[in-house]
Chains A and B, each alone.
Chain A
Amino acid sequence: QKEVEQNSGPLSVPEGAIASLNCTYSDRGSQSFFWYRQYSGKSPELIMSIYSNGDKEDGRFTAQLNKASQYVSLLIRDSQPSDSATYLCAVKGTGGGNKLTFGTGTQLKVEL
């Protein structure tokens, strides 16, 4: 079982729609969860971080965390073509330090 799992996609949504990206993780003791956006050929860019159960909103982005289900998601409202990228879910496990485990990423395509 992979430590962090994501559907590779591509996930296609029309412009203006809500894009929903999902991620599950195996380390039940994980405490920190992150969503990174990665454009082709570029390095990852931090979009959202979430540490407690529930929702966290920042502009058009909402991260949702359910530790009981070991599930974290990212919603993108009013999707724009510029949101087209690969979204990486990253989890900090129970080990010390800042070591993150990344999922394989979900490719999002926002179509005009």
Chain B
Amino acid sequence: GAVVSQHPSWVICKSGTSVKIECRSLDFQATTMFWYRQFPKQSLMLMATSNEGSKATYEQGVEKDKFLINHASLTLSTLTVTSAHPEDSSFYICSAPPKAGGGTGELFFGEGSRLTVL
């Protein structure tokens, strides 16, 4: 089945630094990828939709200048948390539909990246 790989799986950084998280589709092409954030004991909240070759679409309340998304190829999307602060500490998960253009809503998730900002 479709595999989505995410790296790093966990990262600790100092406040004010930037952190980049990569999301790769390993055996399929993903024109669209989704970035979610999950705080402890809460559900997944969609942050943004990453579109290959065009600008990402951000959900309401998500700062696009703070969470930079780049989808430069059909198999790679990156999320950069800029000037990270402790409140950005969370579990960041990317996902992609298994078929390009597939509209059923089915998603495969990466392993997730746990960010801790000191």
A residues apposed to B, CB below 8 Å: 31-32, 34, 36, 41-46, 49, 51, 88, 90-92, 96-105
Are B107 and A100 in contact (CB-based, < 8 A)?
A: yes
The verdict on B21 contacting chain A, using a C-beta distance below 8 Å, is: no
B residues apposed to A, CB below 8 Å: 6, 32, 34, 42-46, 49, 93, 97, 102-112, 114
Complex alpha-carbon distance, A44 and B44, angstroms:
9
Q: Knowing A44-B109, A45-B109, A99-B49 are in contact, say whether A88-B44 is a contact too (CB < 8 A).
A: yes
In the complex, which residue of chain A has the Cβ closest to the Cβ of B112? A43
Complex alpha-carbon distance, A56 and B93, angstroms:
28
Query: A-B contact count, CB below 8 Å?
Result: 63
Say how far A58's CB is from chain B's closest CB, in angstroms: 14
Are B102 and A42 in contact (CB-based, < 8 A)?
A: no
Are B105 and A100 in contact (CB-based, < 8 A)?
A: yes
Are A98 and B42 in contact (CB-based, < 8 A)?
A: no
Complex alpha-carbon distance, A75 and B32, angstroms:
32
- Partner of B104 from the list A32, A42, A43, A105 (CB cut-off 8 Å) is A32
Complex alpha-carbon distance, A52 and B32, angstroms:
25
Are A44 and B93 in contact (CB-based, < 8 A)?
A: yes
Are A92 and B43 in contact (CB-based, < 8 A)?
A: no
20 new A-B contacts, CB < 8 A, other than A34-B105, A34-B106, A36-B109, are: A31-B105, A32-B104, A43-B109, A43-B110, A44-B109, A49-B106, A88-B44, A90-B105, A92-B105, A97-B49, A98-B32, A98-B105, A98-B107, A99-B34, A100-B107, A101-B46, A102-B45, A103-B43, A104-B42, A105-B43
